[in-house]
Each structure stands twice: as structure tokens, then as C-alpha cells.
Chain A
């Protein structure tokens, strides 16, 4: 064995437990998802191959397209807002001021709260009849606002709740990245007469580009996978106005329909979408920066 590869046996022993788990619980299911997507399959009994039936049904399925559109709208609205708010609050809380630590901690806190609790609090806030938001609005002589019976408003309420949980992570990542911004460079620019807005736009935002890129990628992935908050807060309703791709896959597979083949097909679409969008983003990133060795 060459010296370069002297650790081969030990390395596979170190990797084996992890590899077994990944293969059994992730890669086999992924392969099997593709098989299922060509099958009519219920929870019990064998599946029968039905060719492209699931796919043609999917393409003609209005609810699927609605779920895809909802997921897209949700992603396009929440990701930029999360990143921009995260950066704005990071710039606000980067410099010393009284109460800074407390402020940071409070914005971070939703990170450790489970999404189910977040959704239940969301319900408490946006319940049409006894919720807090409408209560406060009533006190101001406004409303009641139909957060639950109006589809667009229901979507907005979900987005607001999701922002509450996600901005903290963006803040945390940006604050860490701001430690690497060279203070001398900023001072020099200030001496040259650059105002705060110019500093942010011309110096800080470009320096933080890799961080922003990372945050966009993970937030897009999280948005594609949104399920818990919608399931608990609106259960996809009213009608299908907040049904997302994962909600639909779950309903098909584990709801009354119990259609594993069709549910898996929705899952495969979700996987391919995630893959394509992530790869496109990575390519876009590579055009901006030289590749960095992992």
C-alpha cells in the first residue's frame, strides 16, 4: 500500500457506521422513491408498475400546481426578507450599545423553539376570533382581519411567523461574518468622506457576499421543505391557499389517500427541484468567486 493511502483500512472502519446509516436511511429510500414514482402502491400489498401514470396525473393535478406555486411564492418572499432583515439587524447590533447582548439573545431565541410551538404561537397571534393580533387591532378600532378565512392573508400570516423564526439565524451568521470585515478598511473609507450608506453598500455588502450566498442557499432549501408550520397553523387552508409541496406529499402518502406511489412522485419532484435550484445557485456563485478548495 502506498504511503499516501496508508490509512485506508482504518478510514473505512471510521466511516462505516455513518455510511451504513446514510445508505440504509437516505440513499436506499432515495433510489426507492424513483421506483415508487412509477408504481401504484398502497401501504399494504405489492406495488404494480404503471409506467408514467403518476407523472401524467401530476402534470394535470391542479392541487399539485397550486402547491408548487405556493412554495415558489413563499420562497421568493421569505428568503430575501430573511436575509435583508438579518443583515439590517446585524449592522444595528454589531457596534457596542447598552442592552446589545439582551437584544441579540432575544432575536436568537426562536432558533431553539420547535417549529410546532412556533406554529401554535402563530395560531394564538392570528386566530381570527380570539387571537392577539385581532384583539390589538380591535382595540385600535380596526378589523377583524380575516387571517384564517382569506387565503392571501393566511399566507401572509405564515410568512410573518416564519420570518420570526429565521431572522435570528441570519443575524447570528452575519454577526460572525462581520467580525472578519477589516475595520481599517472602513476607517480609511470614512476618512475619505464615505457616509454610512456608502460604507454598507460599497464595502460591507460586497465583503459579506459569501455569507449572503450561504444564507440564501440554506433558506431556499428550508423554504422548499416548509411543512411543520403550515401543517399546524393552517393545515394548508383555507382551501389550498397555503398547501406546500411537502404538505401535499404528506397528505398523499399519509393522509386518507394513503397513496405511496403518488406521494413519492411529489417527493421526487421536490428532490429534483432542490437539486436543480441549488446547483444553479452554486454555478452563479462560482462565476463571482474563484472556487475554494473544501
Chain B
């Protein structure tokens, strides 16, 4: 294919993929009356920030952002710690049952949370967690993907390094913390981004476990607003835009890390 044809096709593809996000931005700044009279469009004759101010006047937007940050932040910390430790054990420690443990991790990939959400809800209820953020945080922390990423990374670290630390008197945990962990910054960056993104965007489980509007995370809040706003797309798109901006900005700035993490999720 000549270059100009490729550039042309690539332009069309890019425009098609950009259009939905572009439409979200346009509608978020379009006055309500225009939307209701003329329908939503790809351009507007007038612009307004009333959709945003209306949101902040009527709903606890800051609270929802705070909830989202708290839930995603705590999940990320817990998730990185438990998956990092498990991945290290599966990659570097010698113990009976290592293969079996890895097979169990592989097998959990085939248990969709969606398939067990009802008994999961009963477990969370029995533990008295419903109505608390822990109901969302604890079930999301251990992920097969996180364990895989960690295991793969640690497999590439030479055993000699760990053994040398032990000869120098480190315990197993000491060797991990003082020798391996400082080498693991790229892994930590990738695991952090993926865990944060997953929890920030998660919908079904928070919808089930967080019954109180004061506790909502952003996707659940958006669903709530969808009911409240009915066909007022201006307000809905304003909130959709606000809730997407943090990750969109993070992605553009840290694309290298996202891409590294996501592409390594292809189990090799």
C-alpha cells in the first residue's frame, strides 16, 4: 500500500474511534434546551458550563469522587501487596505444591465473578461488610492477572541475586524486601496502574455491594444519575467526562506503562 493510502485509512479509523469521546465532550458543554429541541449533535451553536454547575449543585459529586479515590486507592495498595507476595512465592520460592498452587491461580481465571455474585453477596453479608467500602475492596484485591504479572517479572530475576542475599544473612523476606523489591519498580508501576484502573471503573460488584448513595463509586453514581436525569444527556455527559478524565489523563501521560502492563497480560 502506498503511504498516502495508509495515512488516509489510518485517519478514517482514528476519526471513527475518536468520535464517541468527542461527542461526549461536545454534549457536556451544550445547553440543555438545545439538546432537547434539536437533539445531540457533533457541534453546538452555543456553549455552556451549566451542565457541570447543575451537577455540583444537586448531587454530592465531590463525595463520590472521594469514595472512588478511597476505594480504588485502598484496593490498589492491598492488591499490589498480596499479588506481589504470591507472585514472588510462585516464581522464586521452592516448596511442595508450587505447581498445584499455580494451577489453582490459572483455574480462578475461569471463575467469572458474575457467575458467583449471589453467593459472594451472601458471604459479604455474613461477614457484616455490606454498606462498608471493604465489601468492594476485599473481594477485588486478589487478581490472577496481578499474580501473573508479578510471577513473570520475578522469574526473570536471577536466583544468584537472592541466594547471595541469603548467604549474607537475609531471611527469605529480607532478601525479597532489600534485594528484589528495589529492582521491581517497573512491575510496581504496572500493577498499580492496572489495579487502580480496574477498580475505578468496576460497576457490577459495587452496584450490588454499595446500597447507599453516599457510598457510591463513580460508575454506580453515573447509573444513578442516568435514572435521575432521564434524557438530559448534557448532565450525564458532564459527569461521564468528569469521571473519565483522571484515567484518560493518566493514560496519555503514562501510556508506556499501561501498554507494557496490558501487553504482558498476554500469558506467555
Best-buried of A98, A109, A125 by chain B (most CB within 10 Å) = A109
Contact A135 B41 (CB under 8 A): yes
List the B side residues contacting A19 at CB < 8 Å: 86
What are 26 inter-chain pairs, A to B, with CB distance below 8 A? A5-B96, A8-B95, A10-B93, A15-B85, A18-B142, A19-B86, A26-B111, A26-B116, A26-B139, A29-B120, A33-B116, A36-B119, A92-B6, A112-B248, A113-B248, A124-B40, A127-B231, A135-B40, A135-B41, A175-B263, A211-B266, A249-B115, A260-B118, A270-B114, A274-B111, A274-B112
Contact B123 A25 (CB under 8 A): yes
List the B side residues contacting A214 at CB < 8 Å: 266-267
Which one of B82, B200, B250 lies within 8 Å of A17 (CB-CB)?
B82
A249-271 contacts to B (CB < 8 Å): 249-250, 253-254, 260, 263-264, 267-268, 270-271
- Quick one: given A92-B6, A100-B10, are A121 and B24 in contact (CB under 8 Å)? yes
A166 → chain B closest CB, angstroms: 12
A88 → chain B closest CB, angstroms: 9
Question: When chains A and B are docked, how far (Å) is the Cα of A29 from the Cα of B96?
Answer: 27
Contact A164 B20 (CB under 8 A): yes
Question: When chains A and B are docked, how far (Å) is the Cα of A69 from the Cα of B113?
Answer: 21
The answer to the question of B77 belonging to the interface, with a C-beta cut-off of 8 Å to chain A, is: no
Per the CB 8 Å criterion, the residue count for chain A at the interface is 99
Contact A15 B122 (CB under 8 A): no
The answer to the question of A115 belonging to the interface, with a C-beta cut-off of 8 Å to chain B, is: yes
The answer to the question of B58 belonging to the interface, with a C-beta cut-off of 8 Å to chain A, is: no
The answer to the question of A53 belonging to the interface, with a C-beta cut-off of 8 Å to chain B, is: no
Question: When chains A and B are docked, how far (Å) is the Cα of A254 from the Cα of B201?
Answer: 21
Contact A92 B13 (CB under 8 A): yes
Best-buried of A15, A92, A196, A221 by chain B (most CB within 10 Å) = A15
Contact A105 B82 (CB under 8 A): no
Contact A117 B266 (CB under 8 A): no
Which one of A14, A89, A249 lies within 8 Å of B89 (CB-CB)?
A14
Contact B39 A21 (CB under 8 A): no
The answer to the question of B45 belonging to the interface, with a C-beta cut-off of 8 Å to chain A, is: no
Which residues of A approach B to under 8 Å, CB–CB? Answer: 3-8, 10-15, 17-19, 21-22, 24-26, 28-30, 32-33, 36, 89, 92-93, 95, 97-100, 102-103, 105-118, 120-125, 127, 129-132, 134-136, 164, 167-169, 172-173, 175-177, 196, 211, 214, 221, 224-225, 227-228, 231-232, 246, 249-250, 253-254, 260, 263-264, 267-268, 270-271, 274-275, 278, 294
Which one of A32, A110, A129, A169 lies within 8 Å of B39 (CB-CB)?
A129
Q: Is the interface of A mostly helix, strand, loop or mixed?
A: helix
Question: When chains A and B are docked, how far (Å) is the Cα of A100 from the Cα of B171?
Answer: 49
B169 → chain A closest CB, angstroms: 15
Q: Which of B49-57, B59-67, B183-191, B237-245 contacts A (4 or more CB under 8 A)?
A: B237-245
List the A side residues contacting B208 at CB < 8 Å: 254
Best-buried of A102, A112, A167, A177 by chain B (most CB within 10 Å) = A112
Among residues of B, the one whose C-beta sits closest to the C-beta of A264 is B118
A231 → chain B closest CB, angstroms: 8
- Quick one: given A227-B204, A278-B110, are A14 and B86 in contact (CB under 8 Å)? yes
Among residues of A, the one whose C-beta sits closest to the C-beta of B262 is A172
Contact A120 B237 (CB under 8 A): yes
Contact B203 A114 (CB under 8 A): yes
Contact B263 A173 (CB under 8 A): yes
A15 → chain B closest CB, angstroms: 5
Best-buried of A120, A129, A227, A231 by chain B (most CB within 10 Å) = A120
Sort A-B residue pairs by CB-CB distance and give the 8 closest, nearest first. Answer: A114-B201, A176-B263, A14-B89, A32-B119, A10-B172, A11-B95, A7-B93, A130-B39
List the A side residues contacting B171 at CB < 8 Å: 10
